[in-house]
Amino acid sequence: MDGKYHGTTSATGNSIIVAVAPGRHTVSLDLSGYDHWETGVDVTVGDTSRVSASLVPSPPAPTTRTLSISSSPSGANVYLDNDYKGITPLTLTDVAPGTYTMEMKLDDYNDWSTSVQATAGNTESVSATLTSSSSPPTPTPAKNTPATVMGVVVALVLSSVIALRKRREGN
């Protein structure tokens, strides 16, 4: 009463507070699993004031979480702890609280992953920017194979023989 604790109700639901000063007072009741209840009561000298309350059960606390998942580009496969969940954009409801590994996979893009902490009652947004796995081709330098080297040697020898013949013919 008036913000001060005065005990609990009996098994029959009754409680008596004695020697209450006359005037307006606030009576409140709290019970785990029920909404807080409060009312005002006027107390007059020589009278007994009565308060009756019906407590309302509290709605259950949310036990799941929602994950809103997107990717750029869209169309990525979504895995939550290696379980396939669908394709982005995707909304997962009824996700139990806990820590999960989320992966997104899309052909021609590098796989993407992150850790997601799910706490009850919230919507978590997860967005991935996927990077292309194909890079511009790197030119491969020509290798000096034995056939190429041999061809160059043969060409040099023939050039030398031709040059020597022309020299001798000129003498």
Instruction: Please list, in sequence order, all residues whose beta carbon lies within 8 angstroms of the beta carbon of residue 158, skipping any fewer than 6 positions away.
Output: none
Say how far apart CA 26 and CA 111 lie, in whole Å: 61
Domain coordinates of the chain in residue numbers? 1-58, 65-129
Domain covering 65-129 in this structure, CATH number = 2.60.40.1120
Secondary element (H or E) of residue 169: helix 146-170
Say how far apart CA 39 and CA 37 lie, in whole Å: 7
Say how far apart CA 127 and CA 112 lie, in whole Å: 10
Q: Which of 33, 35, 27 is nearest to 9 (CA)?
A: 27
Q: What is the pLDDT of residues 150-162, one digit of tens each?
A: 666 666 767 777 7
pTM reported for the whole predicted model: 0.46
Q: Which of 54, 55, 13 is nearest to 33 (CA)?
A: 55
What integer is the mean pLDDT of 78-88?
94
Q: What is the pLDDT of residues 20-70, one digit of tens each?
A: 899 999 999 999 888 899 999 999 988 888 888 888 998 876 666 888 999
